Chains A and B, each alone.
Chain A
Amino acid sequence: MTMQTVGRPTRPEDVQPLDSGFASLTGGRGLLQDEALIFERDGWGKTGVDLPAVDAAADDLGDLVRTSPIGLPGLSEPEAMRHYVRLSQKNHAIDLALYPLGSCTMKHNPRLNEKMARLAGFADLHPMAPLPTIQGALTLMDRLSHWLKTLTGMPAVALSPKAGAHGELCGLLAIRAAHEAKGDPRRRVLVPTSAHGTNPATAAFVGYSVTEIAQTDDGRVDLADLEAKLGPDVAAIMVTNPNTCGLFERDIIEIARLTHAAGAYFYCDGANFNAIVGRVRPGDLGVDAMHINLHKTFSTPHGGGGPGAGPVVLSEALAPFAPAPWVVHGPEGLTLVEETVEEAAQAFGRMSAFHGQMGMFVRAYAYMRSHGADGLRQVAEDAVLNANYIKARLSGVMTPAFPEGPCMHEALFDDSWLEGTGVTTLDFAKAMIDEGFHPMTMYFPLVVHGAMLIEPTETESKQELDRFCEALIALATAAKAGDVDRFKGAPYLAPMRRLDETLAARKPRLTWKPEPGVAPAPLAAE
C-alpha cells in the first residue's frame, strides 16, 4: 500500500473543557467582535464618500460660516460596512426567532413591502411636489384609507399621525375640539389601570386630568366603577380592546353606551387590532376614535424603535375635526386639503409637517393587498389560536393570570408560580435569552403581579411555538428545582451579561467624550 499520512486532523481532539470557562487571549468571542465606537477608531479626517471638488467660496456668508471643528470621525466604505454589520450581529430580530413581546405585535415583515416602498415613484417623491406629479401617491393614500375605513367600519380616517402615541394625541385633540365646538369643554379622561402608559401621558398632554377606572377580577373594565366615575366633566374614556391583559372587553358595547350617555367620547387604543382584524369592526362597538399601529397590525418593520405610523379612524361625530391634510377627489384628479380654512375650518390643526408616514403607507398597503380581506381574517384567527395554544401548553407549569376562558392574541401569566423559588420574572426572562428567545413583555400590565405577557403573532409555525413552549417548560422546571444560578446570573450566552442600569442613571454618559491623553482628539478643520 502507499501510506499517505500528511494533512490536517479531521476530528476534534479529546480535550477536557476548562473548569473556569474558556477565555480568548484578546477578549474576542469567536466571530462575535467587540466593536469600538466610531469615535475610538483612527477615522478623524477620513471619508467614505467621493465628492467632486468645489471651486466656489462661501464668501457671501461672512461670519455665518463655521470656524470650529465639528468633531465627526469618518469611515471608509469597507470599514463602515464592517462596523455596522458587526453591531447588527449583537441584536435579536424577528427574522432570527420568535419575538414574543406582548402588546408589540412582532410579526414577520415581508420584504415585498420594502421593495415597494423603495420604488422611485414613492421613495424619491417630494411632499410638496406639484399635484399633477403625485397622483399615484394620493391614490395610494386614498386606497389605504378605504381599507382602513372598511376594516374598522368607521367613516373617516386621519392618516398623518406618525406613531401610536401620536395617533392617541390626534384622537384626543379631535375629541377636545368636538367638545369645545359644543361649548362644553370637559376636563377629565377615564383610563383603566391596565392601560398603556401612553394613554394617561397623552391625556395629560392635552390638558386633561386622568382618573383611573378599576378592573374586575376577570381582567375587564369594572362597569360599576366606570358608571360611578362618568360625569358631566368627563371628555372621554380611553380603553384598549382587546385589552392589555389580552382579553376582549365583553361589555364593550355597554361601555360605549354608558360613555355616550354621559356625553363623552370613546377613544379605543387600537394597539391590539391584530387580534380582531377581519372579524370585528370597532365601528360596530361604538368607538369614536381609534389609532391603528401600521407597524403592528399591518407589518411595517419596527426598525429598532421606529418609525411607525398611527392613522386614526374617526366616527361621524369626530370626522369634521380631523387634522389637515387629507385627500379629496376633485375635477382634475386627487388633491390635498392642506390648510384649516374653508371646508376644513373645523379641523383642529396639524399633527406634523407634510402628509404622514408615506413609506409606511406603501408597506402597509402592500401587506393588506397581499393578505386580502380573507387573509386578514385568517391573521386574527391564527394570532388568537397561537396565543391560546401557548396558554394551554404553559398552564401546566406557569400560572395564567386569567385562567378562565380564552385569551385573544396574547397570553398573560403572573409570577405566583415562581413563589419560593428565589427566581423573579426578570430572572426568568433573562434566562430565556440563553435558550435563544427574546423575553416576553415583563411587569406590564401593572395590574398583574410580576406579569409576563406573551404575544406570538400569527407568523409563527406550530413547530416554532412548540420549540418555544418546550424551552419555557424546561426553564420553569429548572426554576422550581432550585437551579437558581441559571436565572440569577442570566444571560450567560448573550453578547453581553446583565447591564448596570443604576450606574447608567446615576452618572449619565449620553455622548462619547474624548478622554484627555487617551483617545485621539478631533482634528481641527482644514
Chain B
Amino acid sequence: MRFTKDHEWVSLDGDVATIGITAYAAEQLGDVVFVETPEVGKSVTAGEGLAVVESVKAASDVYAPLTGEVLEANAALAEAPETVNQAPEADGWFAKVKIADASAYEALMDRAAYDAFLETL
C-alpha cells in the first residue's frame, strides 16, 4: 500500500489501483455521511478530483493519487457510508482505477514514510 500527503491510499494489483482515504483522514473527518464516487469509465488525472467525502459539517475533495480510468466505484458506500470510518483502508475503498504507469505508484510514500509524515503534522 502507498500513501499521499493528501491522505489517500492506493494498493496495486497488476494495473488496477484500489484507492481510499487513510485511517488518519477518516478519524479527522469524523462521521462520514456520504461519498460521491466517480462514474465508471471516467478518466482521472493524478492530483485532480476523484471523489467527494462528506461529514455532517464538511465536504472534502479526494484526489486521484494516480492517472487512469475508473473501472469500478464502491457501490456499497451509498448504503453504508459509515464503512469509511469502520474500515477506511479495507472495505471503505472508494474506487478501482486502471492505471497506465505503475512507476508513479512506486513514487508514492510507503507506510513508514506516511507515518513519519503524520508525525510532522
Given a CB threshold of 8 Å, the question of whether A touches B is answered with yes
Query: Which A residues are in CB contact (< 8 Å) with B56?
Result: 501-502, 505
A502 to B82, CA, bound (A): 10
Q: Is the interface on chain A under 10, 10 to 19, 20 to 34, or 35 or more residues?
A: under 10
Question: Could you jot down 13 A-B contacts, CB within 8 Å?
Answer: A501-B56, A502-B31, A502-B33, A502-B56, A505-B33, A505-B34, A505-B54, A505-B56, A506-B31, A506-B33, A506-B34, A506-B81, A506-B82
A139 to B34, CA, bound (A): 51
User: Chain B nearest CB: distance from A362 CB in Å?
Assistant: 38
Contact with A along B108-120 (1 / 0, CB 8 A): 0000000000000
A-B interface contact total, Cβ < 8 Å: 13
- CB nearest to A506 among chain B residues: B33
A502 to B84, CA, bound (A): 14
User: Chain A nearest CB: distance from B34 CB in Å?
Assistant: 7
Determine chain B's interface SS by DSSP, over half rule.
loop
User: Chain A nearest CB: distance from B29 CB in Å?
Assistant: 11
Shortest 4 CB-CB contacts between residues of A and residues of B:
A505-B33, A502-B31, A501-B56, A506-B33
A505 to B31, CA, bound (A): 10
Query: Which A residues are in CB contact (< 8 Å) with B33?
Result: 502, 505-506
| Chain A, 488-511, CB within 8 A of any chain B CB | 501-502, 505-506
Query: Which A residues are in CB contact (< 8 Å) with B54?
Result: 505
Contact with A along B55-69 (1 / 0, CB 8 A): 010000000000000
| Chain B, 27-63, CB within 8 A of any chain A CB | 31, 33-34, 54, 56
Q: B33, B54, B81, B82 — which one has the most chain A CB atoms within 10 A of its CB?
A: B33
A61 to B62, CA, bound (A): 53
Query: Which B residues are in CB contact (< 8 Å) with A502?
Result: 31, 33, 56
Contact with B along A503-526 (1 / 0, CB 8 A): 001100000000000000000000
A506 to B31, CA, bound (A): 9
User: Chain A nearest CB: distance from B61 CB in Å?
Assistant: 15
A505 to B82, CA, bound (A): 11
| Chain A, 294-331, CB within 8 A of any chain B CB | none
- CB nearest to B31 among chain A residues: A502
| Chain A, 468-502, CB within 8 A of any chain B CB | 501-502
User: Chain A nearest CB: distance from B30 CB in Å?
Assistant: 8
A502 to B56, CA, bound (A): 6
User: Chain B nearest CB: distance from A506 CB in Å?
Assistant: 5
A501 to B33, CA, bound (A): 10
